[in-house]
Amino acid sequence: MKDRNHLRAGTDPALEIIQVRCPATMARSAEKSLLELLTSPESSNVRIYRNATTPLDLSLHLPGTASSIDGTPSPLGLRLANSLRNYGQVSHSVWTPIHPPSDDQEISR
């Protein structure tokens, strides 16, 4: 039986997450701008979330747009993150799935 401390990188699509913390004076403008930016067909899977306890924090989830092989952000993600920099502090990251170990590909945690 394999050690449970070993995980392998998956081949499933990555999840790209862009978060922005807006000053109170910019929150409405940021939301409006986001809704305008997300009218293209390529952004149809993008979901926008507002922090339940800190409504000035917004999070965009872009499933399956980034590279899960090397963690490269998508062109759409880069454009959105760049646009959101006008409204506050932006964090842009790519999350890759983790699967149970297999014989062919393992990485240590």
Q: Any idea what the CATH number is for the domain that residue 75 is in?
A: 3.30.70.100
pLDDT tens across 38-94, in order?
888 888 899 999 899 988 899 999 998 777 677 889 899 999 999 999 999 999 999
Tell me which range, 4-8, 63-67, 94-98, is most confidently predicted by mean pLDDT: 94-98
Residue 104 lies in a domain: no
C-alpha separations of 47 from 10, 34, 61, 70 in Å: 23, 11, 5, 23
Residue 22 lies in a domain: yes
The alpha-carbon radius of gyration of the chain (Å, integer) is: 17
Residue 81 lies in a domain: yes
Q: 6 Cβ partners below 8 Å, 6+ apart? A: 101, 106, 107, 108, 109
Residue 108 lies in a domain: no
Indicate the residue type of 55: P
Residue 1 lies in a domain: no
pLDDT tens across 9-35, in order?
555 788 999 999 998 888 888 888 888
Q: How many CB atoms lie within 10 A of CB 66?
A: 26
Residue 107 lies in a domain: no
Per the structure, the count of domains in the chain is 1
Domain of 25, in residue numbers: 6-98
Q: Give the whole-angstrom CA distance, residue 41 versus residue 20.
A: 23
- pTM of the prediction? 0.76
The residues with which 57 forms a beta bridge, in sequence order, are: 21
pLDDT at 36: 87
